[in-house]
Amino acid sequence: MTDDAKVLAHRMYEAFNTRDVAAAKTIFSVDFVSHPLGTVGIESVMKAWAGMHATFPGLRILVEDMLSDGDGVAVRTTLHGTPADKPPAMMEFFRVRDGRIAELWGLSTLSRP
């Protein structure tokens, strides 16, 4: 599962970076839980991604570090394309179930307008 979980993580960031919001339907489980947003479901991911793209049209996420163990993946990223002097950082941990991201926890230094 470890390698599969990492491939899925890279697929998620690639979909975000290429603005392929519809890919969320193949990446996240139907009952996906975002703990930072307090939401459930794929539609909440699609709405969050679209909002981030609208707020920061040039936003790209760069994976700096990725660790996985079993069905869990921890990722440290930087966010490029924001007006910040230094790229904001993000830490996310997610759990994979049946080949899809089922749950996500995260922290970010990004300040949203």
Sign of CA dihedral 32, 93, 38, 46: negative
Where residue 15 sits, what CATH number does that domain have? 3.10.450.50
Q: What is the pLDDT of residue 84?
A: 86
Q: What is the pLDDT of residue 111?
A: 76
**What pTM did the predictor assign?**
0.92
Q: What is the pLDDT of residue 36?
A: 93
113: in domain = no
Question: Roughly how many angstroms between the first and final C-alpha of the chain, as a whole number?
Answer: 38
Q: How confident is the model at residue 31 (pLDDT cuts 50, 70, 90)?
A: very high
What's the rounded mean pLDDT across residues 54-63?
Answer: 96
What's the rounded mean pLDDT across residues 80-90?
Answer: 93
The DSSP secondary structure of 36-53, one letter per residue, reads TTTEESHHHHHHHHHHHH
Range of the domain at 78: 2-108
Domains held by the chain: number: 1
